[in-house]
């Protein structure tokens, strides 16, 4: 039963650890890093090196790079050396690189998880000590590793384009940076889609949809690339350029984290808490938005339309998040109940992070309300300082329009999510309602809110569009908001909308309150004895060793065995 196998390449032998000098230190560092690498990354790196798919893609990428190098030089001829044809050459290389980065790598990430489910190796993986976060991170890092290999393969060609002139170094860096972000982001989306189902037929449907989406993303990336290379002179020396990029990266990072933990939640064991971490990320994301909106307002004095767009985006974001959260199960497992906040302050402030449709509803409404409060603050500051000092471009009615728009967004969100939640609770009485059904109900509600008045009006009058907006369409949030926000002067029926919609939202909110209260009443339960016993054992093992008396000056406390001085 002794170890008869030869040591694995990464295992340091005693000779290695005894050796001195920087090579030995570097080796030990590499061993240390290798030991801590995600097991999935290690396995898939080994697999990739032997897999035909990787060899084929890598070979094709290199071949395409070479072919384009020779073809480009042949087309441009001798003038390539002095007329700055670097941009044309770069565009070709960018397209060659974008295809594996935006199509192959994300689709591989999707297939990697989907095939694990098909081959049922995922079951074996899921019962190891790897956490769902490690599984998703491992798959993502494998995708990242492939991306780096493809990037390094084409990098000599990109360096070549810079030498040809015609394209600035910052443009090359910027495009590669966003291409890499796009590749990682799409890989993560591929992973999330891979976690959605283990049914073969649904996987086929999803893979077709994903391929279509990835090809579309590839087309968009190529267009953006050509726009940046030929149509846009990147203002890299201006602060505004970097602020925009920082804002874009902030949005990317927060959505990346959200999608990452959504994928983690998808594969987390059913009795575990899948929601709290996502809600924390939503709060961080919201804080990030608030910071950026405030910065943009203070530093750049934007037009009021920008804030209208941001409000619309905020409303849509919280509606989607709310639709997902209201689809959660109202029952908390004993495992989740063990970690509920216990103190008074904890219960007041952290209960809303607990899983559950009621707390989720309130969380979404509070998130959207925070957006409205922010707009109200901006308007207040604007009014206090007066037009011409803070936001010069605003016309007199803009403040009022922004507030009305914000109130209506909040009212629609509260009403629709609340009605959806009431329906979901009704369905819970007849059986289990999965999250997908919950989201479907929410979407159908909005569709019905838009379609029913349209059908009614079409029945009454065949000229649907020419008849314009009327209060019949009050349930249509999109048309109503466009009606209110499209002009700087508010329409005549605004006051009626401001009465009916918030009142309806308030009624729906109050109808949902008992359900929310029921969820808030959950209290922490004690750990089972066996769990507490093991935790105590582990804590004892992790506790620092008893101090040892090493000198005559060490003082032993009376009644204790510890050394204190």
Q: Which chain residues interact with other proteins by CB under 8 A?
A: 1-5, 7-8, 11-12, 35, 39, 42-43, 46-47, 50-51, 119-121, 123-130, 269-272, 333-335, 338, 528, 530-531, 533-534
Q: Are 113 and 142 in contact (CB under 8 A)?
A: no
- Token pair listed for 329: 């199960």
DSSP labels, 44-60: HHHHHHH-HHHHHHHHH
User: Can you tell me whether residue 302 is helix, strand or coil?
Assistant: coil
**Burial per residue of 259-298, b for 16 or more beta-carbon CB atoms within 10 angstroms, e otherwise:** bbbbbbbbbbeeeebbbbbbbebbeebbeebbebbeebbe
Cα–Cα dist 122/509, whole Å: 42
Q: Could you tell me how far CA 5 lies from the centroid of its own chain?
A: 44
- Token pair listed for 200: 């073969």
HSE-CB for 96 with a 13 A CA cutoff: 26
Nearest distance from C-beta of residue 153 to other proteins, angstroms: 21
Q: Could you tell me how far CA 478 lies from the centroid of its own chain?
A: 25
Q: Which residue, 51 or 489, has its beta carbon nearer to other proteins? A: 51
Cα–Cα dist 518/55, whole Å: 57
Q: Are 378 and 288 in contact (CB under 8 A)?
A: no
Cα–Cα dist 411/394, whole Å: 25
Nearest to 203 by CA among 110, 123, 102, 139: 110
Cα–Cα dist 393/73, whole Å: 51
> 428-431: which pairs have CB atoms within 8 A and are 24 or more residues apart?
428/330
Cα–Cα dist 189/290, whole Å: 26
Q: Which residue, 20 or 50, has its beta carbon nearer to other proteins? A: 50
Paired with 556 in beta bridges are 563
Cα–Cα dist 472/454, whole Å: 9
Q: Could you tell me how far CA 41 lies from the centroid of its own chain?
A: 22
User: Can you tell me whether residue 563 is helix, strand or coil?
Assistant: strand
Q: What HEC string does 97-124 produce?
A: HHHHHHHHHHHHHHHHHHHHHHCCHHHH
Cα–Cα dist 285/173, whole Å: 27
Handedness of CA 316, 364, 507, 372 (dihedral sign): negative
Cα–Cα dist 356/278, whole Å: 13
Nearest distance from C-beta of residue 270 to other proteins, angstroms: 5
Phi, psi (deg, nearest 5) at residue 420: -60, -40
Q: What does the angle CA 403 – CA 323 – CA 435 come to, to the nearest 5 degrees?
A: 175
Cα–Cα dist 106/449, whole Å: 36
Q: Which residue, 208 or 531, has its beta carbon nearer to other proteins? A: 531
Nearest distance from C-beta of residue 117 to other proteins, angstroms: 11
Cα–Cα dist 99/84, whole Å: 25
Nearest distance from C-beta of residue 330 to other proteins, angstroms: 17
Cα–Cα dist 239/490, whole Å: 36
Q: Which residue, 107 or 122, has its beta carbon nearer to other proteins? A: 122
- Token pair listed for 65: 């790079």
């Amino acid at each position: 039963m002794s170890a008869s196998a030869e040591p694995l390449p990464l295992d340091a032998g005693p000779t290695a650890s005894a050796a001195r000098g920087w090579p030995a230190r570097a080796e030990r560092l590499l061993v240390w890093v290798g030991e801590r690498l995600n097991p999935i990354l290690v396995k898939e790196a080994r697999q990739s090196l032997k897999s035909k798919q990787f060899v084929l893609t890598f070979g094709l990428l290199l071949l395409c790079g070479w072919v384009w190098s020779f073809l480009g030089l042949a087309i441009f001829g001798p003038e390539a050396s002095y007329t700055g044809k670097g941009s044309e050459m770069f565009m070709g290389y960018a397209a060659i690189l974008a295809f594996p980065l935006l199509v192959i790598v994300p689709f591989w990430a999707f297939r990697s998880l989907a095939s694990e489910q098909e081959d049922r190796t995922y079951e074996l993986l899921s019962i190891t000590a790897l956490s769902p976060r490690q599984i998703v991170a491992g798959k993502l890092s494998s995708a990242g590793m492939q991306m780096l290999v493809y990037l390094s393969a084409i990098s000599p060609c990109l360096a070549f384009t810079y030498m040809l002139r015609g394209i600035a170094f910052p443009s090359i860096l910027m495009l590669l940076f966003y291409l890499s972000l796009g590749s990682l982001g799409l890989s993560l989306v591929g992973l999330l889609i891979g976690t959605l189902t283990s049914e073969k037929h649904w996987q086929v449907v999803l893979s077709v949809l994903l391929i279509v989406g990835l090809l579309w993303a590839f087309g968009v990336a190529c267009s953006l690339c050509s726009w940046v290379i030929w149509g846009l002179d990147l203002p890299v020396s201006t602060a505004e350029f970097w602020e925009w990029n920082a804002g874009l990266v902030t949005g990317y990072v927060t959505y990346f984290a959200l999608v990452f933990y959504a994928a983690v939640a998808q594969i987390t064991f059913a009795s575990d808490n899948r929601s709290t971490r996502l809600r924390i990320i939503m709060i961080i994301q919201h804080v990030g938005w608030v910071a950026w909106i405030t910065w943009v307002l203070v530093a750049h004095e934007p037009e009021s339309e920008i804030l209208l767009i941001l409000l619309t985006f905020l409303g849509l974001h919280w509606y989607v998040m709310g639709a997902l959260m209201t689809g959660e199960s109202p029952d908390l497992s004993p495992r989740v109940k063990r970690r509920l906040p216990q103190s008074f302050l904890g219960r007041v402030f952290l209960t809303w992070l607990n899983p559950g449709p009621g707390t989720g509803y309130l969380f979404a409404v509070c998130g959207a309300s925070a957006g409205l409060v922010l707009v109200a603050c901006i308007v207040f500051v604007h009014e206090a300082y007066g037009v011409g000092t803070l936001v010069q471009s605003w016309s007199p009615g803009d403040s009022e329009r922004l507030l009305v728009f914000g109130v209506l967004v909040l009212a629609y969100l509260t009403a629709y999510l609340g009605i959806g939640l009431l329906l979901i609770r009704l369905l819970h009485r007849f059986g289990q309602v999965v999250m997908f059904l919950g989201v479907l109900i929410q979407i159908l509600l909005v569709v019905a809110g838009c379609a029913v008045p349209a059908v009614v009006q079409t029945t009454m009058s065949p000229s649907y569009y020419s008849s314009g907006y009327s209060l019949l369409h009050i349930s249509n949030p999109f048309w109503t908001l466009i009606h209110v926000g499209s002009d700087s002067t508010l329409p005549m029926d605004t006051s009626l909308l401001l009465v009916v919609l918030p009142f309806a939202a308030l009624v729906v909110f109050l109808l949902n309150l008992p359900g929310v209260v029921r969820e808030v009443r959950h209290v922490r339960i004690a750990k089972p004895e066996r769990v507490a016993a093991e935790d105590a054992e582990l804590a004892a093992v992790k506790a620092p060793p008893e101090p040892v008396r090493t000198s005559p000056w060490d003082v032993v406390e009376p009644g204790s065995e510890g050394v204190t001085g």
